[in-house]
Amino acid sequence: MTMETSPLDAGAPTPAFSPLYQQIKGLILQSLQAGEWKPGEAIPSEIELAARYRVSQGTVRKAIDELASDNLLVRRQGKGTFVATHAEHHVQYRFLKLVPDNGDVASEGPAQRRIVDCKRLRASADIARALALRSGDTVLQVRRVLSFAGVPTILEDLWLPGAAFKGLTAERLGTYQGTMYALFETEFGVRMVRAEEKIRAVLPDETQEALLQITSGTPLLSVERVAFTYNDTPMELRRGLYRTDSHHYHNVLG
Measured in whole angstroms, the distance separating CA 30 from the mean position of its chain's CA atoms is: 18
CB-count exposure of residue 164 (10 Å: 0-12, 13-18, 19+): middle
Say how far apart CA 146 and CA 110 lie, in whole Å: 10
Q: What is the pLDDT of residues 52-101, one digit of tens each?
A: 999 999 999 999 998 888 778 888 888 889 888 766 554 444 555 777 88
Q: What is the pLDDT of residues 95-120, one digit of tens each?
A: 557 778 876 666 666 788 899 999 99
Q: Give the chain's count of helices (H) and strands (E).
A: 9, 10
Measured in whole angstroms, the distance separating CA 112 from the mean position of its chain's CA atoms is: 20
Under 8 Å between Cβ of 225 and 197: yes
User: What are the structural domains, with CATH classification, of the chain?
Assistant: 7-83 (1.10.10.10), 89-249 (3.40.1410.10)
Specify which residues 100 forms β-bridges with. 247
Residue 223, classed as helix, strand or coil, is: strand
Lowest mean pLDDT among 81-85, 137-141, 162-166: 81-85
Residue 204 gets which letter from DSSP? -
At 182, is the pLDDT very low, low, confident or very high (cuts 50, 70, 90)? Answer: confident
Q: What sign has the CA pseudo-torsion 141, 149, 181, 245?
A: positive
Say how far apart CA 106 and CA 100 lie, in whole Å: 10
Lowest mean pLDDT among 89-98, 166-175, 191-200: 89-98
pTM across the whole model:
0.74
